[in-house]
Amino acid sequence: MFEVRVEAEFAAAHFLKDYHGKCENLHGHNYRVFAHAKGENLDAGGMLIDFGDLKAALRKVCKVLDHTNLNDLQENGAFVFMQNPSAERIAKYIYEKISLELPDCPLYAVDVFETSTSRARYIAPNCAGNANSTSSTLEENMDDSMWL
């Protein structure tokens, strides 16, 4: 099994409307996002997916989110995050946008870090039943912390 990962960043403000604590107040994060593709088959050039293609799709989505109040983000007249832009919802949004941009990409998961110690992950629905997809290994945790 092969896996590739690209990353991007964006800065945005948000608040959690249905949360009772300090995060219900407007605040911001410098988000770091990882997009993971996974598969067994390589193309003729020996690649699972071109890093450049995956990175471009991720950066395109992050550009839309950058320097916004995520609570105000709307598409087709509806609030994207139901006015509660949690890291979990942001990860799913980014996953869905990349999937639309690169329909043949074996996108596996999207990680959204609000801080260096707090991450939410959205895993592809077709991978969610995989026992390996929900467990973390020491190696994976070390990889995720390499940017700290």
What the chain holds in terms of domains, given with CATH numbers, is: 2-144 (3.30.479.10)
Q: Please report, for residues 29, 38, 146, the alpha-carbon distance to residue 12 in angstroms, rounded to integers and kept in the order given.
A: 6, 29, 23
Tell me the pLDDT band of 72, cut-offs 50, 70 and 90.
Answer: very high
Per the confidence metrics, is the pTM higher than 0.95? no
**Does residue 93 have a pLDDT over 70?**
yes
**pLDDT value, residue 54:** 98
Out of 56-60, 61-65, 138-142, pick the least confident.
Answer: 138-142
Cα separation, 111 vs 7, in Å, equals: 9
**pLDDT score at 3:** 97
Confidence band for 134, pLDDT divided at 50, 70 and 90? very low
